[in-house]
Amino acid sequence: MKRLWPALLLSGFFFLGAAAPVPAAGRASLAGDLFVVDPGHGTRYPDGRELNVGAVGPDGVEERVVVLAVGEDLAALLRAAGAGVVLTRSFAAPYRTATVLSADNRARAALANRLGATAFIAIHADAALDRSARGTSVFWLRPNSRPLAAAVRAQLAPFGLGEAAFRIRDLAVTNEARVPAVLVELGFISNPAQERLLATPAFQRREARALYRAIASVFAR
- Strands, E assignment, the chain: 8-10, 13-15, 34-39, 43-44, 50-52, 84-87, 96-97, 119-126, 136-140, 163-168, 181-188
Angle between helices 63-80 and 201-219 (to 10 degrees): 50
CA dist 50 and 71 (Å) reads 20
Question: What would the pLDDT profile of 69-122 be if each residue is shown by its tens digit?
Answer: 999 999 999 999 999 999 999 999 999 999 999 999 999 999 999 999 999 999
CA dist 44 and 134 (Å) reads 29
Question: What would the pLDDT profile of 43-72 be if each residue is shown by its tens digit?
Answer: 999 999 999 989 999 999 999 999 999 999
pTM of this structure? 0.89
Alpha-carbon Rg for the chain in angstroms = 16
Candidates 116, 89, 80; CA nearest to 14 is 89
Listed in sequence order, the DSSP H helices in 59-140 are 63-80, 101-115
The structural domains of the chain, ordered by start, are 8-219 (3.40.630.40)
